[in-house]
Each structure stands twice: as structure tokens, then as C-alpha cells.
Chains A and B, each alone.
Chain A
Amino acid sequence: MNYTLHFGAVWASFDHLLGGLAIGLALAVAAVAVGTVIGLLSAFASVSRSRLLRGISGTYVLLIRNIPLLVLVLLVYFALPQTGIRLDKYESFIGSLALYAGAYLTEVFRAGLLSVPKGIVEAGRAIGLTRMQTNISVVMPVMLRNSLPSLGNTFIGMFKDSSIAAAIAIPELTFEARKINVDTFRVVETWTVASGLYIAACFTIAALLRMLERRFPKF
């Protein structure tokens, strides 16, 4: 093997990688936040009594889950401005990732909704709560707690998918790593360090989520 490792060039730009990591995390947090709202609405629609709402939710999940994220990101970034909607690349990417997360979270929350015992819904109705009040005060808390593990997995998935933002020149971790790679030609070192950062971040997120799960015991 005549390749000698020189991490020095990568360490010199390490702060850029850390900055990229922070941007990736911020993108994932924003996208999962918006995606959670989309996913909740869509999940409730998917179990609603209205055929129209079920249809809308089903079509949304079907379409989004069958488009690769990269294609979705490019579509939103390049096609949307043609319709007169102007978004900067951050808004555009967060929007794409949120749409994508929303589709997966629909399934997560849907499973959570189906796991809520029918009896406690009836108990809520029996004390005079309206359908909406029952959903907010009884169904949602139980469903969210039951969904916590899958929600965590989805969040980690979305964080890793934030690397796709490099395709539209958002300076997150993958983008920064590619730049260092091009500037220094330290291919192995650069991508090793970048991978290490992704692994460390995902490990940390997973540990935090496990703490959260322990904090709120399962019902």
C-alpha cells in the first residue's frame, strides 16, 4: 500500500466540517419539525372516516415514498421557481426534506394511532369530550409516546439524508468534506473523518432519544 495517511490537511479545515455538521443538524431539526406537523395531519386523515381525506393522505404517501429524495430535492429546487414560487436553497431543501419526512412519519403516526386502545377513546367520549378534544387530550399523548422509538429512527434517518443538501450547494458536512477533498486530494482521510462525524452525531442523537424514552415510560 503506497498511500500514506496525512490527516493534517483535514484537521486544518476541521472547523468547516463541524460547521457543516451543525447545518446538517439544523436542516434535520427544521425538516422533522415541519414533517411532524404534516405527518400528524396526514396520519389522522389516513384513519378518518372521510374517504376524501384518506385518499389525499394515501396518495401523498404513495407519491413521496416512490420518489428518491435526491430527485425530490432537485425537483423542488429547480421546478418550483418556474411556477413563480421563489425559495432560497435552504427553504427549498427544508421543504423537500419535510415533505419526505412527512410521508414516513405518516406511517409512524398511523401505526401509533392504531396502537391507542379503543377503550380510552370511548372513556374520553363518555365524560363528554368532543371528538377533537379526545384526539388532543387522550389520543395524541398516548400515540406520541408509543411512536417515540420510530420517531427517533426517522429523525436519525433525516439527519443522514441532510447530506443530500450538498447537491444544491448547501454547505453542510458532505459538501464541506467534498470541498476539502477537492482542495487537498486527501480522499481517504476526508471521507473517514466525515463518516466519523456522522457516526458520532447519530450515536449522540440515539443516546439522547433513549434517555427521553426512559424519562417517559411506555404505557
Chain B
Amino acid sequence: MTKIDTARPLLDIRGLKKNFGAVEILKGVDLSLQPKDVVSIIGSSGSGKTTLLRCVNLLEEFQGGDIILDGETIGYKTVGAKRTRLRDAELSRQRAMTGMVFQSFNLFPHLTAAGNVMLGLRKVKKLGKEEAFAIAEKWLIRVGLGPRLDHYPSQLSGGQQQRVAIARALAMNPKLVLLDEVTSALDPELVQEVLTTIKSIADDGATLLIVTHEMRFAREVSSRIVFMEQGRIAEEGTPSEIFGEGRSQRLNEFLKSSRH
């Protein structure tokens, strides 16, 4: 029993297809993550990386394929030949199993750093105020923002805001954390503090699916790297495989063009 459970992937994406109207964004993506995997998705813009993450967090509907999270098929149910989107309450419950950190932080502007982290704990996990605060405090200290608990987002730097967003996602104790180009909106001098935070979370054994343009970071933190191109996974391997010799012409070109 236990053996089967550990062999089972935490996230299993099978034949994922997504289109916006007539435009196919994802053309059948297969990807699976074991617990504690740190997988980085790289690829040029428009390759479908972000859309893939958003499908996993059910922020986008998708037209084909399955996403199985910890053994549960999420987003849709199929009865006979009919595939229907689950109801809002179900979708919300499944979303709570994954955490998401966005490119543009998306902190709640009317709540303090602690308030941002507490909201999900209070409303989704139904924790009491003291308990929620204790967890929020713990996570904000963890990301180095202990002294900023009662600061509002507008009083924080971009890097600090993004670290609050990371604490907000992790405090919910998700099975999987999705990171969507989390340093792209940051001033260069603030990038490192956020990457360091993510690195330490990865070292603690979190399962991460990362979309990033930071190649050096991807190489350093990932157990596996996925190269996406035109809605498909074009290449997949360990960092040394992806960044080493023997890679495809296309990946070569991409890596060359993204070098700073």
C-alpha cells in the first residue's frame, strides 16, 4: 500500500490540450512530478508555459486530457462520454491543494502582510484568528519578513511583496507549489532575495513546478528541466542533460538567445 503511494506521481498531466478559440495553446502535454521534485519549465514566450501552470491551478479551463493531483482527477468529471467542469465549491477545494505565486505578486492591497497570509487560513482552512496569525508569522519569518508583519503591500518593495506571496502560498500547506515567472517583474537587484527564498523552500522538500527565464537558477534548483515549444514538451531532462552537450538545435538556439 505505502509502496504504491510513493511510486504514484504527485502530479500527473496526461495529453493536456488547451485552446483559446481557434488558437491551440497546448497540443497534448504529458508531464509528471514525484513528491519533492523541482521541475522548471523553460521556453520562449508563447510556448504555453504559463498556460500550463494556470491549467494545473484550474485558473484556465482546458479542452482535453487529464490532470491528476495526488490521485485525484481535477477540474472535470467524466460521466459516460460527457466531460463537465466541476462546480465552484469543488474547484475551490482542489485549488487549495496547490499554491500559486504570480509574476505580478497579486497581494491583496487592503490587507497587511500577515493579513494576506491569514486570509486563506481563516476562510478556507477555517482556522481561528490566533492560530492563523501564528502560522502567518511563522511563514513570514521564514521568508525573512518577520519585522514587516503589519506592513501593507504598498509599503513593501517588489522583492518583499513577492516573498509575502510565497509565504501566502506555502502557509496553506499545499501539496504542490506553482511559480509563474516570479522574478520577471522585479528590479534586477531584488531578484536574488526571491530566488534564495525559493531555493531554501526547495531544499526543505517542497514540490515545485516553476516557469522561469532565469536559466542559472533553473539549473541550480531543478531536479528536472522541461523545454516547451509551440504548445508541446520538446525536451526534458536533468539540468546537466539540458544544459550539457547533445541537445537539440532548437534548444541550443533558445539557450543562446536567452543568455544575458
Contact = CB atoms under 8 A, between A and B. Distances in A.
A217 B93 CA distance: 34
Nearest to B97: A128
A146 to B, nearest CB: 10
Interface residues of B, number: 28
Interface in A106-144: 117, 119-120, 122-131, 133, 137-138, 141-142
A131 B88 contact: yes
B172 A128 contact: yes
A138 B110 CA distance: 8
Interface string B86-103: 001100110110111010
Contact of A219 (B92, B109, B124): B109
Nearest to B117: A127
Interface residues of A, number: 21
B112 interface: no
A133 B123 contact: yes
A160 interface: no
A117 B106 contact: yes
Contact of A130 (B89, B154, B168): B89
Contacts of B124: 127-129, 133
Contact of A120 (B92, B98, B108, B154): B108
B57 interface: yes
A145 interface: yes
Contacts of A142: 108-110
A165 to B, nearest CB: 36
B119 interface: yes
Interface string A60-98: 000000000000000000000000000000000000000
Nearest to B124: A128
B169 interface: yes
Nearest to A141: B110
A152 B139 CA distance: 39
B120 A119 contact: no
A120 B123 contact: no
Interface string A196-219: 000000000000000000000101
Nearest to A122: B59
B10 to A, nearest CB: 18
A128 B110 contact: no
Contact of B108 (A125, A130, A133, A138): A138
The winner among A117, A123, A130 for most chain B CB atoms within 10 A is A123
A137 B122 CA distance: 11
Nearest to B103: A119
Given A122-B59, A122-B102, A137-B123, A127 B110 contact: no
A120 B106 contact: yes
Contact of B57 (A120, A126, A138, A145): A126
Interface in B152-192: 154, 165, 168-169, 172
B106 A219 contact: no
A119 B108 CA distance: 9
B225 interface: no
A101 B136 CA distance: 41
A124 B99 contact: no
Contacts of A119: 102, 104-106
Contact of B106 (A122, A141, A145): A122
A123 B96 contact: no
A27 to B, nearest CB: 31
Interface in B130-145: none
A130 B88 contact: yes
A34 B59 CA distance: 35
A126 B96 CA distance: 7
A123 B102 CA distance: 8
A65 to B, nearest CB: 30
B107 interface: yes
5 contacts: A126-B59, A127-B95, A128-B120, A145-B110, A219-B110
Interface of A: 117, 119-120, 122-131, 133, 137-138, 141-142, 145, 217, 219
Given A119-B104, A123-B106, A128-B93, 8 more contacts: A120-B106, A124-B119, A126-B57, A126-B169, A127-B120, A127-B172, A128-B172, A131-B92
Interface of B: 57, 59, 88-89, 92-93, 95-96, 98-100, 102, 104-110, 119-120, 123-124, 154, 165, 168-169, 172
Q: What are the 5 tightest A-B residue pairs by CB atom distance, in nearest-first order?
A: A128-B96, A127-B120, A219-B109, A123-B106, A119-B106
